[in-house]
Amino acid sequence: MAALFSADSTLMRALSRLADVMILNLIFIATSLPLFTLGASLTALNFTAMRIASGECNSVGSDYFRSFRRNFRQATLVGLVLLGLTAVLAAWYVVVTNLTFGPLAELLLLAAWYVLAFNVAVMALFVFPYLASFEGRTREVFRNARLLSWKHPFTALAALALIALSIIVTVFYPQATGYGLFWCFIGFAGIAVVNGHLFTRVFSKYIAASTVEQT
């Protein structure tokens, strides 16, 4: 019994990890309430989640706010660009579905919309984890995030599927998420940590290659 509750036991490590995720979730929600900080909050969330996933996180708060401060300006700009792209896609969809086009033209326009929306979505999944892990100009961040989403489609699809499934369950089966309590206590950070395992595996290849080149 003493071994079960020792600091190095599997149970205590799992409880410590759960506590880290809950703390991260609360910090993320608190720093995202002013919506203009959402870009920096998402970057810090992914940075800390990847460190938790890789076992490198010693202090959730310290890691989070270090990334938040370091990337605030660029992450805010990235968030505004993504917001602009989302607005363009939304306007496109409204126009196509409400104006009268020929059947073929409407089909082609909607097909193009779905392709672009999917590409923007998977690129957005990589943008903030990439910004949390690498330095570069904003244009390079978007370009590399897009290339990574194409080069690692299974990672992109797995991350997208997890987020989509969580949203679908929340919308159609709210009782399964405790009517929002899941998101308040663990949801955002929990999903970020699961996806953090995926992104860490992808990014580690490029970090190792960069280290070899520098030596």
The residue extents of the domains of the chain are 12-214
pLDDT at 140 over 80: yes
pLDDT in tens, 22-44: 999 999 999 998 888 999 999 99
Query: What is the predicted pLDDT for the residue at 7?
Result: 55
| Chain centroid offset of residue 170 CA | 18
pLDDT in tens, 39-96: 999 999 999 999 999 988 889 999 999 999 999 999 999 999 999 999 999 999 998 8
Predicted confidence band at 214 (pLDDT cuts at 50, 70, 90)? very low
Residue 58 DSSP code: S
Token pair of 191, please?
Answer: 């999903």
Q: Do 24 and 17 form a contact (C-beta atoms < 8 A)?
A: no
Query: What is the predicted pLDDT for the residue at 215?
Result: 46
Does 9 or 81 have the greater pLDDT score?
81
Closest CA to 78 of 125, 21, 39: 39
Does 157 or 100 have the greater pLDDT score?
157
CA–CA–CA angle 130, 136, 139 (5° rounding): 90
pTM above 0.85, yes or no: yes
Closest CA to 203 of 156, 154, 139, 134: 134
Does 16 or 48 have the greater pLDDT score?
48
Q: CB pairs under 8 A, 24+ apart, for 110-117?
A: 113/89, 116/89, 117/89
Closest CA to 42 of 24, 54, 60: 24
pLDDT at 205 over 80: yes
Residue with token string 């505004």: 80
Residue 5 DSSP code: T
Angle between helices 153-172 and 103-133 (to 10 degrees): 110
Q: Do 195 and 162 form a contact (C-beta atoms < 8 A)?
A: yes
Residue 35 DSSP code: G
Angle between helices 38-54 and 10-32 (to 10 degrees): 170
Query: What is the predicted pLDDT for the residue at 210?
Result: 57
Write out the E strands in the chain.
Answer: none
Token pair of 175, please?
Answer: 């009782």
pLDDT in tens, 167-186: 999 999 999 888 889 999 99
pLDDT in tens, 95-129: 888 877 778 888 898 999 999 999 999 999 999 99
Query: What is the predicted pLDDT for the residue at 191?
Result: 97
